[in-house]
Amino acid sequence: MGWRDWPYWLRGGIITSLISIQIIWLFSYFSNFLGWGNNLFAYLAWPLFAALFGLASVENGDVLTAFFGLVSGIILTLLIYFLLGAILGAIYGRSNNKKRSLAIIIIILFLTLVSLAYYLKEPSLPEGSEDCKSPLNKLQKDFNSNRCYLDLAINNQDYQVCNNIKPDKEYVALDAENYKWFCYEEVAHAKNDPSICDLIPEKTYNRFRETHQKDACYLWFKLCDKIQNQEWKESCLGYN
């Protein structure tokens, strides 16, 4: 019984498993150059990634556990891609127009990989406020508009950019108002301009406590006389 006599689901599973090894290796190799880090590798081969992560944390003497975890990760990764290929192979086998079905499957897989790569791509430093508003940038996993405005304000040394920071549910400990003043402080550091600290309110709060953002700004510049919080002022004087 030759290869062509095998059922389509079996051929699809084998082909996809073999191709997946090459795809995972290629994407992992180029991931750091394209700003993806290990994120894409973790998504394409999460059982193997989990096994390697566990391998790094295993004690030196437990070689058997490390070996078992690595082999299990490889087998489970290949099994997942085999099942995916088997499903695609079965769909391909039932199609009346094989060439068209193959083209559609390849296009869908390619678009899926490109979309996943873009989703996992590390956000680049913004060049203008339009980058922080871009709907395409918001599709990236680690993109955050408030963080974008913070980076933009620091890069341009312009505290007024901080006023674009809005409430964001991702920042639990830092509400928008406090994060804005934190942005002011960071711009003051970047510009080496303590006068920006004067623009921060006397009292600032996150959702849990008073943050003393203004005092923190003065503390960085060692302007001890301007610090209101007595404990912080004593700390500042102690540094000097």
Q: Copy the structure tokens of residue 227.
A: 């610090």
> Same domain for 27 and 10?
yes
- Domain holding 48, by residue range, is 3-120
CA dihedral 193, 194, 196, 201 (to 10 degrees): 170
> Same domain for 98 and 195?
no
Distance CA 123, CA 142 (A): 7
pLDDT of residue 196: 95
What confidence tens digit (pLDDT) does each residue in 160-205 have?
A: 999 998 866 555 445 656 888 899 999 999 999 999 999 998 887 7
> Same domain for 12 and 113?
yes
What confidence tens digit (pLDDT) does each residue in 69-110 have?
A: 667 777 777 888 888 888 888 888 888 887 888 888 888 878
Cα angle for residues 45, 100, 96 (degrees, 5° grid):
110
Q: Are 204 and 211 in contact (CB under 8 A)?
A: yes
Specify the number of domains making up the chain: 2
Position with higher pLDDT, 238 vs 223: 223
Instruction: Return the number of other C-beta atoms located less than 10 Å from residue 156's C-beta.
Output: 17
> Same domain for 184 and 225?
yes
Average pLDDT of the residues in 141-155:
91
> Same domain for 134 and 201?
yes
The amino acid occupying position 14 is: I
> Same domain for 73 and 167?
no
Average pLDDT of the residues in 143-165:
93
pTM of the model: 0.66
> Same domain for 35 and 116?
yes
Q: Are 34 and 117 in contact (CB under 8 A)?
A: yes
> Same domain for 109 and 180?
no
> Same domain for 19 and 97?
yes
Sequence-ordered list of residues with C-beta below 8 angstroms from that of 37, at least 6 positions apart, any chain: 31, 120, 122
Instruction: Return the number of other C-beta atoms located less than 10 Å from residue 142's C-beta.
Output: 12
> Same domain for 65 and 16?
yes
> Same domain for 111 and 134?
no
The domain boundary, picked from 120, 143, 177, lies at: 120
What confidence tens digit (pLDDT) does each residue in 104-144 have?
A: 888 887 887 777 777 777 788 898 999 999 998 888 888 88
